[in-house]
Amino acid sequence: MEAFVEGFHTVLQPANIFWIVIGGFLGTIVGMLPGLGPATAVAVLIPVTFGMNPTSALILMGAIYYGAMYGGSRSSILLNTPGDGSAIAATFDGYPMAQQGRAGEALAISTVASFIGGILAAIGFIFLAEPLASFALKFGPAEYFLLMLLTLSAIVSLSIGKMVKGFIAMCLGLLISTIGIDAQTGVHRFTMDIPHLSEGIEFLIVIIGVYAVGEVFYNFLTIDKDSMKEKKKVSRIWFTKEDWKRSKWPIIRNAPLGFIVGVLPGAGGSIASMMSYSTEKQLSKKPEEFGNGAVEGLAAPESSNNAASVGAMIPLLTMGIPGSGTTAVMLGALIMLGIRPGPMLFENDPGMVWTFINSMFIGNIALIIINILLVGLLIKILDTPAKVLYPIIIILAFIGTYTLSYSTVDYFMLLLFGVIGLFMKIMDFPIAPLVLAIIVGGDMEQNFRMALTASNGSFGIFFDSAISITLIIVTVLSLFYPLLIKLLRKKQKDEEKGISA
């Protein structure tokens, strides 16, 4: 408790507040821009942190990380182009809301959802860091494989009415994810002797390509027709009471879900937000509104991915193990400053850890203010004429791509995925299964094979632990739930008919 209060005092030093605000603002911006993510932002800032005291550096980097979660959904909502994997779910209902002239509400509610998710997770951090870190250790290859399987089956089952198309998109994604050196055997797969391909295809290029570039291509095709359509005026920049009533519980119950998934090393934010979306859709009394601008379909994943970004700090700070790309870069930066996060950190340097935890409260408060203020400014993007807006998006997409590995080879990849995205839009294929499959595909395969190597080829390992069995049950449920509901509804209708007849 003493350490907690002391940490609070440290956070309230003007210099630290300054870094929190800077970090939060930077994070929001890089989160918004396609391709530029928190990992890049933290990496670019490494030379800046050289001169800083380690605690301020950690606070700054943390603020960038969760700030990016706030920013990520901005471009998802306004332009249908997520800034990062964890913002994909925000396109499902956020973009339809914007199209219906409810962009202001969408931006506001997602900010509030992010805030609540972040705060709840920070409280969770205080009480649950240690037990959750040891829970995460129970996840072996089999459990990881099943978790990713659950994510993929959830996303395919989300594309109701287009389930076959969703499945095809997912398979294409899994195929793409096999490109690169196979870790288990060292064999080069589908690399065509291009050294650049040996690391596999960076999923952010796919996101920028199919979403941002694909969206621009698509709008280019329909630009003349579009101008005939009357633009809906954005009337408000705050959400309604009705919106809040619908979102309140989804926001609160998905924070713990995201938090726990975030603690697991891997694609935390992307998996967390996708699982939250599918959970809410299945719990909802009006699942047909999901995908057409259901406000809770936007709020739930936003709460969840913010909580996940806080959760991801747990393995870094308690075990010195980075759980995501961004935390890996943070680890490198901290080591250069002479801090080695790990099991000894809480004992050796409790002041720093508590200062950081407290900074998350202040940071989230700063971020909700920054982002609410930005709403009025951001909705102006929708009034920007297409001939100005789309070239800017293309420029940003290319810059973002270049920063991923400083290579021009990626430009060709970007355009290729832009064209794939265009065709998927024309033929009405859901895009999210493709992208998610590329994000988790490589790890999923590797974990599957490791599980089987570990068990000497016996499939029993997938039914070995309570976690595995729970994951299997949830997977089966998520696949058959939509069918079940349909059957139940039909029965209900039949009965109603029977009564009225």
Partner 1 sequence: MKKLSLFVLSAALFLSACSSSSSSSDGGAEYPSKNIEIVAPASPGGGWDLTARSVQKILRDNKLVDSNINVINKPGGGGEVGWNYLHPKDSHYLAVNSSLLLTNNLLGQSKLTHEDFTPLATLATEWQSIAVPVDSPYETINDLLEAIKEDPKSIKIGVGPGLGNDDHLSFVQAAAMKEVNPKDLNFLVYDGGGGDVVTALLGKHVDVITTSLSETKEQHLAGKLKILAVSSEERLEELEDVPTLTEEGIDMVFPHWRGIMGPPDMTEEEINYWDEKLSEMAATDEWKELLENNDWDDFYQTSADTKKFMEEQEQLYSELIDDSGLVE
Residues that bind partner 1 (CB under 8 A): 29, 33, 43-44, 46-47, 50, 136-141, 181, 183-186, 188, 195-196, 198-199, 265, 315, 319-322, 328-329, 331-333, 335-338, 340, 342-344, 377-378, 380-381, 384, 388, 392, 395-396, 399, 405-407, 442-443, 446, 450, 453-454, 456
- Closer CB to partner 1, residue 14 or residue 460? 460
In the complex, least distance from residue 501 CB atom to partner 1, rounded to whole angstroms: 58
Judge whether 426 and 218 are in contact, CB under 8 Å: yes
- The C-alpha angle 167, 168, 170, rounded to 5 degrees, equals 65
Find the angle CA(375)-CA(376)-CA(379) to the nearest 5 degrees: 80
Distance CA 164, CA 427 (A): 13
Q: In the complex, what is the shortest distance from the CB of residue 201 to partner 1, in angstroms, rounded to a whole number? A: 12
CA 75/CA 58 separation, integer angstroms: 27
Report the distance separating Cα 273 and Cα 461, nearest Å.
28
Instruction: State the CB neighbour count (10 A cutoff) for residue 397.
Output: 27
Q: C-alpha angle 10/14/19, rounded to 5°?
A: 90
Q: Please report how close the Cβ of residue 229 comes to partner 1 at its closest, in angstroms.
A: 22
Burial class from Cβ neighbours inside 10 Å (0-12, 13-18, 19+) for residue 447 reads buried
Please, what is the minimum distance in Å from the beta carbon of residue 198 to partner 1? Answer: 4
Least separation in angstroms between CB 280 and partner 1: 30
**Minimum separation from the CB atom of position 343 to partner 1 (A):** 4
Q: Which is nearer to partner 1, 409 or 473 (CB)?
A: 409
**In 14-53, which ranges are continuous DSSP H helix?**
14-32, 38-49
Which residue's CB is nearer to partner 1, number 136 or number 307? 136
Q: Which is nearer to partner 1, 227 or 384 (CB)?
A: 384
Q: Which tokens go with 395?
A: 């420029």
Q: How far is the CB of 423 from partner 1 (least distance, A)?
A: 28
Q: Provide the terminal-to-terminal Cα distance of the chain, rounded to the nearest Å.
A: 68
Burial class (CB in 10 A: 0-12, 13-18, 19+), 338: exposed
- The 3 state secondary structure assigned to 369-386 is HHHHHHHHHHHHHHHCCH
- Please say which residue, 25 or 218, places its beta carbon nearer to partner 1: 25
Amino acid identity at 71: G
Specify the residue, 137 or 426, whose C-beta has the smaller distance to partner 1.
137
| Minimum CB distance to partner 1 smaller for 252 or for 394 | 394
Greatest C-alpha distance within the chain: 80
Q: How far apart are CA 118 and CA 237, in angstroms?
A: 22
Between 183 and 485, whose beta carbon lies closer to partner 1? 183
CB of 120 to partner 1, least distance (A): 25
